[in-house]
Structure 1
């Protein structure tokens, strides 16, 4: 089974899509796919579908959705197996047997390798592994699935993991002297995340190393305005030190000299 959730939901058995078009069965499949090879309790599925106000018929309706999913699986199996062995009923819940990797598992494995490479200061390997991990994404996680409370939490978790991996890949690229190549990407990212301090710090580093100290100070000013307006906070001491360093034309981040790479 092939499972993709880092973008639109796509689940295939024997190369055939088993992803339903109806919103509720699609939600059920999304939660099962995110937890492939683990039991998803019936109570979790009901909460995902109806929140705190499930109908009296919730369990019966859920069973209907599971039956619809098994019909999709059965068509994909084309007589080569039993759908009940792929979407299993177990005590307390259901389990989707994947028998293979998913894009989420590949992402998490590559990110782990990238972080370990960062810890070892193997920046070329780190940038490569983290870049591979980020390339698995084709959009917002589960972009075409209706989100109940559980999927909403899972999507937030995945998006945060994506942002952390992106942050570390950029850090690795800065260590490798790729500051000019990062400018366009960081322009977009700081616009998309106007209160994200580390992205702004990296943007300031890249700008200053590219001989654009004035623009680096403007990036700091925009961040400060946003933080004061929205949160009543000044930038962190680290960002303030970076601003002073840029003004003095000797700016450094821990382990990253702004001017050394020219």
Structure 2
């Protein structure tokens, strides 16, 4: 069982498209609510601890997840007295859920006990995080090669896999909370690179509205402000670009007591000197 990335031959010569899993296969989503999807139907368990356990197993598909990590996630520093027996009960219930919903003929064969923990025997490509990471990797390759349209399409395909905050329906403990923060950073980076690819591809005028909205929602994000300054400058709106810089500098000084980063200061200097040429 696996998810194909259609249009990708390993060379990066074609822009990838995500067509979803083949009919009848099982896929798992973490980029939004945790879902267990087969033929469009969600079979994820509803019991909070079982959902939490499943999320932990999906962090390392096909690899051992240690018992100690699961205990830390499910109970943090307050495990019950019979913690291992309780955890084994959740594992048993998850295996029964797998069998009862026809996700695999044998729950024991899919969720395997292997010292020092458990292995969830699914392919990484069945988990949307894998597809997201692969598409981002292809996008970076295309961007480095100057294939800006392909890069932008790869990042758009990656970002389209998101349907909300990561693991939105999971009561995350310390391990999953840290992973959720990491995923949000990957999403932010993919968005930044997608915009960069579109700027380099000459779409600067089309990006002004989106970047203004993003800057409003993220008033201290220097990367977004820099991208907005670039698209304004390249669209012949140098005064608006410089006003964006001044507003950011005032906010950073007021709230954090710092100046914009060197890159933004250099961009501002270029705008003051001659401005970026309009397209």
Distance (Å, rounded) in 1 between the aligned partners of 2:202 and 2:163: 27
TM-score, structure 1 as length reference: 0.89
Partner of 1:88: 112
After the TM superposition, which residues 1-262 of structure 1 pair with which residues of structure 2 at under 5 Å, given as runs? 1-12=26-37, 17-77=42-102, 81-99=105-123, 100-251=125-276, 259-261=277-279
> What is the SS of the residue equivalent to 2:118?
strand
Post-superposition shift, 1:14? 7.1
The runs of 5 or more residues in structure 2 that have no matched partner are: 1-25
Distance (Å, rounded) in 2 between the aligned partners of 1:34 and 1:22: 19
Partner of 2:10: none
Change (3 A) 1:14 1:173: closer
Post-superposition shift, 1:82? 0.9
Post-superposition shift, 1:2? 0.6
Post-superposition shift, 1:17? 3.4
Distance (Å, rounded) in 1 between the aligned partners of 2:247 and 2:82: 53
The C-alpha deviation readout for 1:38-96, integer Å capped at 9, x for no partner, is: 11111001101111222222212111211221121011228x62111111111111111
> What is the SS of the residue equivalent to 2:126?
coil
- Residues 2 and 98, structure 1, Cα contact 8 Å, conserved in 2: no
The C-alpha deviation readout for 1:155-202, integer Å capped at 9, x for no partner, is: 111111111111111111011110121112212222232222121100
Change (3 A) 1:16 1:70: farther
- Residues 233 and 275, structure 2, Cα contact 8 Å, conserved in 1: no
Moved more, 218-227 or 171-180: 218-227
Post-superposition shift, 1:102? 1.7
Distance (Å, rounded) in 2 between the aligned partners of 1:16 and 1:134: 22
Post-superposition shift, 1:212? 2.8
TM-score, structure 2 as length reference: 0.84
- Residues 13 and 76, structure 1, Cα contact 8 Å, conserved in 2: no
Distance (Å, rounded) in 2 between the aligned partners of 1:69 and 1:14: 20
The runs of 5 or more residues in structure 1 that have no matched partner are: 252-258
Equivalenced residue count is: 253
Distance (Å, rounded) in 1 between the aligned partners of 2:51 and 2:246: 45
